[in-house]
Amino acid sequence: MSLSDNNNSTNQKFPTLKNDRLLRALRFEPVDTTPVWMMRQAGRYLPEYKATRAEAGDFMSLCKDTARATEVTLQPLRRFDLDASILFSDILTIPDAMGLGLYFEAGEGPKFKYPIRQQSDLERLPTLDVNDSLDYVMRAVTSIRHALNGQVPLFGFSGSPWTLATYMIEGGSSKDYRYTKGMLYSKPEFLHQLLDKLVIAVIDYLDAQVIAGAQALQIFDSWGGALGHRQFVEFSHAYNKRIVAELKMRHPNIPVILFTKGGGLWLDIQADSEADALGLDWTMPLDRARQVLTESQRQFTKQHKTLQRSKAIQGNLDPATLYGSPETIRSEVKFMLDSAYACGEKTGYVANLGHGITQWVDPERAKVFIDAVHEYQI
């Protein structure tokens, strides 16, 4: 895919991409410096974001306001030398569109008025037409893509089926996943029915984002790490694999990053997907991740007599590092990048935090992180 590619999955014409550093790294092509972006880079740590959200009234109103969603997406790009933008939205848009009554409780995060706990709840869930019930997301994608004017590529995203299911069953965030894991072990067929509905919705949702203008995709499997080994394979990875395979069939030139928080133990399993890259949190050293993926590729080639495409990696600075001094941040960035390039490969890596940036970070510390990545000599 060249700099002039305007996304052959859509008839829309967008400005030529000027900075394709991140896309090149994901394709294992040479890069002049390490590409970097941050999960939740548009958010509450920025005073300008807080002002725009106050104007909108509440979080979901901000998501559904095309002009303001575009504005907050661009805000971090005005401050920092980032190599990608990411759609301003939320991973819970799909269950919200399914009528579960999403609302936000102060200090407690997202909640649903109507959790999915029994068969009748499941049967009430509609089959989504994402271009109807989630049309505000597609309008935002197209608006942002035009507003970027080719500055950097635009990420679209979705929560994974497992992660969405946990929110829908628990009715919000959870520390022990009491209801979801209870169903997993007592009524696994019920959980699979829900996941089957969600996998179709996620595929259609991400497909529509690409058609609207997204140039890369990330699947957030935020709660995959809460599962046991066999359960991760059956209830999380199997569905993520289906999503990626279908998306790569529809949009072979659109890179897909699969990020499972707490999923470093299962890199060899996640390698058995068509994802272009795997995201890592701070618990897995990047040099070890590369070793695991290289061995996985070797085993795949030996077993199937065909070469498995290499997986790029993304991550994985602890977001709490940004509470430290500039000197500490630069030092930790160097450790991270030394580890990322320890195998000798000088591409195939995207710098990021190991999870989303927190609301308490000083924006100047975020700038130190981003600049330190670009100043590192690869």
Q: Based on the residue annotation, tell me whether 21 is a catalytic residue of this protein.
A: no
Q: Which of 45, 167, 205, 341 is catalytic?
A: 167
Strand 277-279 and strand 312-317: the pairing is: parallel
Other beta carbons less than 10 A from residue 301's beta carbon: 12
Beta strands in 241-288 (DSSP E): 256-260, 277-279
Residue ranges of the binding site: 40-44, 90, 167, 222, 355
Beta sheet of 154-159, edge-to-edge order = 85-86, 154-159, 216-221, 256-260, 277-279, 312-317, 349-353
CA distance 211 to 49: 27
Which one of the listed residues 20, 65, 83, 90 is annotated catalytic?
90
Catalytic residue among 21, 24, 27, 53: 53
The radius of gyration of the chain's CA atoms, rounded to the nearest angstrom, is: 20
**Residue 232, C-beta contacts closer than 8 angstroms, at least 6 positions apart:** 224, 263, 266, 269
Dist CA 210 CA 256 (whole Å): 11
Is the dihedral angle over the CA atoms 40, 44, 45, 47 positive or is it negative? positive
Mark whether 40 is an active-site residue. yes
Per the CB < 8 A criterion, the answer to whether 30 and 24 are in contact is: yes
The span from the CA of 299 to the CA of 270, in Å, is: 14
**Candidate list 5, 44, 136, 272, residue with the active-site label:** 44
d(CA 129, CA 138) in angstroms, rounded, equals 12
Catalytic residue among 40, 145, 290, 330: 40
Active site residue 58: no
Q: Indicate the annotated binding residues for substrate.
A: 40-44, 90, 167, 222, 355
Residues belonging to the active site:
40, 44, 53, 90, 167
